[in-house]
Structure 1
């Protein structure tokens, strides 16, 4: 499965996702789960497909890719609940969509909100269990099956830790070491390292290649999240599909905020960072300071230097050139993207 064949493989992944979510009982929970899987970039399947290479059994690769995308969708649904977000990918979040539906049928505002939260939580659970079950059903020998499930277990535990720390550290003054660990747990482990490891294990690649791909995935995921954090403050809402005030109101613990908070002028605007009622004026003041303090430039510098180092590591990977080329291309998309 070369990079040229990836688009057709992704189409198969989307069909498999539809099959896994096509429940006979047209329950609202299943409809919500289906909505959560619409509009994604399919980044994790792309990584898994690339790491598997052209000789891996296509059915296994497609099914594993669909599974990891369902798990990703589950985490997004739960993340939106935790962050009280109303919009995802330019559309209402599952909780918001379900709450609006309840209001349209006569529920009070309070009851509608409760229904929205319940729908989001349980539909996320459905996505999660179906993703894990699909991985468990893969026709693999005992050892690779054990490795696949161990990889997913580790990634999910790390993601849970990262989600927890993201809330605990919000609005505070975390150290750079804490931010680095958060970047790895929150995003890099499950979104980059795990898909590359899964593809490599399914393909039967040697341990050296699996470990090298895992390292590349972790580092690429950190760069991806650094770019995401920049877009969360400076991105175009029409492109990102996310409010440019969301991270500001949440006091998101990012490297950008940590660096900006070292400037004495932060004392004048820091109170707006983490204020749920922060308005456009507050957002403008915070963005101005992040630029004036040099925080934005420093984050951009670290993204650029990290990408340079990673390009060298990718070029030295003990894998075929097609995979190195695919990873190099994905790296560029990660650090230069607008959404």
Structure 2
């Protein structure tokens, strides 16, 4: 009975996911064998530099990898126990409707400039035929606007007439339209001012608490993800290099790349400032990479084994995983 309960609580499970992009004779290993899971009502923060494979991982959850250049080579992506990668057209449509939704990075380009606020939020309700009656749909739109903090007077306003924060609230309302259980957040606050970022994050937290929604939160800003996530996974060139509860990752990071990212967070004090770790060396090409540590060229701790063998993601303490030849034996 306990096993069934644990399985039910896993909203997302990704196992050995491999995704390639091909161009002529070159193959880019965008995601190269990652494993992760998220429990019901929790938030997993997925962080890393541009090109780490964060967005590609997110798109795979909705089976939206662009073809023909993108191709899922192997792996499983299970939402509530069902493999998204094996679903047919009708199942995917249902999944994207009432199970999984997405909040996009740019709150302007993700909205149709020819649709008003009400029309944008109403669109998924029309497509899903969830609420056939027009008047009832409008009532639902007003409810969603109120939930995300949009005034009723904005129903007939177009996106270009609003600021970035209100535009992103429209995107959140649209994502909530069909009562999804899981939302993919692809850098939803990176294009916003810092003060607006805090408002949007607080709103998303409130919605999660009220509705029990599960989030995967993709960002390159560790200072943001620390206050928003239960667990944090760090990606580097298509691989997971470290995963741990948020508090533990910030207090006891193990992987050199994680330490470098944390050292880049601005600190508002003059004295006793932590030393910034500057990464030097060439970035390993994601095109046809060799089975070695992809961070070795930039790592000050690199050993001979790092240039000949790819490290596995191993659990070094309860819930704390790291893929590093130099720190995998640092068990607590």
Which of the five TM-score ranges fits, normalised by the shorter chain?
Answer: under 0.3
Q: Which has the higher strand share?
A: 2
**TM, length-normalised to structure 2:** 0.26
